[in-house]
Amino acid sequence: MASLTANNQILNNNESKDDDSFKQYISFNIDKEIYAVEITMVREIKGWIPTTSLPNSPDYMRGVINLRGVIVPVFDLRTRFRHGKTTPGKTHVVIIVSLDERTIGILVDAVSDILTIAEDEILSVPDKDVNPEYVFMEGLVSVDKKMVAILKPRLLFNMDDVPETDVNAA
């Protein structure tokens, strides 16, 4: 984890020098599917720790964890994609993502890579307009002949519905 964070740092530094049309993504997998989120959103990657479940919450909401004194909700991406519930073990990781003023955790099987992707490499999702469910997908990209779906975590867990609250209260 430490090395990865350090890596991020270097990559982030490089990014600023790079052409603006390139962006970096962290890719991770659930079963054989590969997904990615923009690296600038990722705060850290944490091994799975048991959560405290919240009553009356959606099934993909795994509960909350204590991230250095801040209560952070953890979402199960597998459940969100309707592939059942993850049974987390030692290899599972939680990607801690910053969405503006909120911090959330996404439970995935494993982190796989850091990708540098040019904007024009990102292909559109077929039938995106037809199926409103697909709004959380920014686009698709082919890396080493494998498809990677780029996600927009904000839309994935409906964080826009969350009412405005006092940030200091945390």
Partner 1 sequence: MSDSMEQFKVIFFEECSELLVSLEEGLMLLQSGDNDEETMHAVFRSVHSIKGGAGAFGFDDLVSFAHIQETMLDEMRSGTLAIETKYIDVLLKAYDILVELVGMAQRGEDVDPDYGADVARAMKDIMNESDQPTSEIETKSEKKVKKVASGKTTHIFKISFKPYVELYQRANEPILLMRELQNLGELTVEIDTSALPDIEVMDAEHAYFNWDLWLISDVGENEIQEVFEFVEDDCDLNIIDLGVYLSPDDFVEDDQAGLFDVQDNSASDVKATKTVEKEKIPSTPQKKPKAEETVVSQSIRVELDKVDKLVNMVGELVITQAMLREQGGQLLVEQYPNLVQGIEELSRHIRELQESVMAIRAQPVKSVFSRMPRLVRELTSSLGKKARLVMTGEETEVDKTVTERIGDPLMHMIRNSVDHGLEMPDVRKANGKTEEGIIHLSAFHRGGRIFIEIEDDGAGINRDVVLQKAIENGVVTAEANLSDDEINNLIFMPGFSTAKEVTNVSGRGVGMDVVRKNIQSLGGRISISSTQGKGSKFSMSLPLTLAVMDGMVVDIGQEKFVLPLANIIQTLRPANRDVNMLPDGRSVMMFRDQYISLVPLYEIFGVKDAVHNPCEGLVVVVEGDGGVLMGFIVDDLVNQQQVVIKSLESNYELVEGISGATILGNGRVSLIVDIATVQTMMTNKHFVSENNGQNLSKNSDKSLPQAQLSMEIH
* Contact positions vs partner 1 (CB under 8 A): 50-57, 63-66, 68-73, 101-104, 161-163, 165-170
- Residues 6 or more apart in contact with residue 39 via CB below 8 angstroms: 8, 11, 12, 23, 24, 25, 26, 114
- Smallest distance, partner 1 to C-beta of residue 74, A: 10
What is the maximum alpha-carbon separation in the chain? 47
Q: Which helix (H) or strand (E) holds 150?
A: strand 146-151
Pairing status of strand 33-38 against strand 146-151: parallel
Nearer of residues 43 and 92 to partner 1, judged by Cβ:
43
How far apart are CB 131 and partner 1 at their closest, in Å? 25
Which contiguous run of DSSP H or E holds residue 11? helix 2-17
Question: Residues with Cβ < 8 Å from 165, sequence gap 6 or more?
Answer: none
Instruction: Please state the closest distance from residue 106 (CB atom) to partner 1, in A.
Output: 13
Residue 63 or residue 139: which is nearer to partner 1 going by CB?
A: 63
Least distance to partner 1, CB of residue 26, Å = 20
Return the number of the residue (73 or 149) whose C-beta is nearest partner 1: 73
Please identify, using beta-carbon distances, which residue of 27 and 51 lies nearer to partner 1. 51
Quote the CA–CA distance of 58 and 63 in Å, as a whole number: 10
